[in-house]
Amino acid sequence: MSQSIDEDLVIKDIDSPLYKYLYFYRIDIKNCFVSDRQKFVQKIKSNILWIYFFICIIRYGILLMIINNKRVPQYYFDLIQYFGEYPEFYYLGAIFFSIFCFRILYIFNHSNSNDYLWFKILRVLNGSQSLDSLKIYNKNEIQKYVQKIKTFKFILNLFLYLVFSFSFFTTLALLFLFFNYLDFIKFGLLSTFIFLINSYFWTSVVGFSFLYYFIVCFYCKTIFKSFNNSIQQLFEGKGKAFLKYKTIDQLIKDHNSICLDIKLYNKFWQKYYFSLIYTLIPINLMALQLLLFENQILPLFFATISFFVGTIASHLMFNLMTASINSEASKSYNSFLEMYLKTNSLLNTKRKIKVN
């Protein structure tokens, strides 16, 4: 019997960032595209953003090559050169972020059709599919899972708002310090617009892709945890005396089904994880270099500290989330082994009695 959809277990806008910020167009989760024209327009937007990040990579690469005496001409409309004593580090960071965002859009919109199996999680969360699809049969565990997603989504939205606000006030400080009135009119306004647009897309694409990675990772952990709890309740309760081989076979099938799902999820998210880790490592090293050896204006010094701590924390969070799935999977193996040792003699005795 399918579980009814409780409004408290629904996050209706959970798929909105996928279409609003990542410009996904391959699959329509909940009637986002009423017509083929809307889907085509979304595809055009996705390709434009993809090209935009490609242009950013080329642009900052050119600025990195032509920089002279720590500056480029103002007609290149660049504010990053004013961030610190060595703008080269900031240009490299911008290149790495642009490459990562370029890669994210490619992964989300150009993967194999079978790699989007994890979308069923979003369909359940937005209320368009039954809760049975989640394979979490304890309502309390479902509530905890949904509540953590809501909390994480709220924190992420707040963080992105603060980052963008900080970027805005940083541009005001840079304009005040490095531009006179005439240069502000000729170069400052457009430079500010370009920098804020870059900041908006960098933070949005990276942040909301992180949200979906969190949703999938925590779901994988939760279903293993739910499965392990069901094993523990079954083999430590009164029903232990009524165990049959069919019950154990069904548990093994359920466990295998969970593992196969995670394997399919991993085909998509392993590409994202690989890209993220090999983006964070060099960026963390550059941030550490800036903090220890370079001179920066005070607001940017604190921004660099916050950025460094944030990226290190994100790196650790990604690794811990991924490792927690493996930990719960190992508990399943240990539970099956313990189950076998405890019940094998009992089941063999029952089989002998039945044969006789």
Q: What pLDDT sits at residue 2?
A: 47
What are phi and psi for residue 68, nearest 5 degrees? -140, 125
User: Do residues 85 and 297 lie in contact, with contact meaning Cβ atoms separated by under 8 Å?
Assistant: no
Cβ atoms < 10 Å from Cβ of 40: 12
Rg, Å, the chain Cα set:
26
Q: Please give the C-alpha separations between residue 119 and each of 36, 218, 258, in angstroms, as whole numbers.
A: 21, 14, 15
DSSP string, 96-133: HHHHHHHHHHHHHHSS-GGGGTTHHHHHHHTTSS-GGG
Condensed to tens digits (0 to 9), the pLDDT of residues 65-121 reads: 999 888 899 889 999 888 877 888 889 989 999 999 999 999 999 999 889 999 999
Tell me the pTM.
0.88
Low-confidence ranges of the chain (pLDDT < 50): 1-2, 4, 355-356
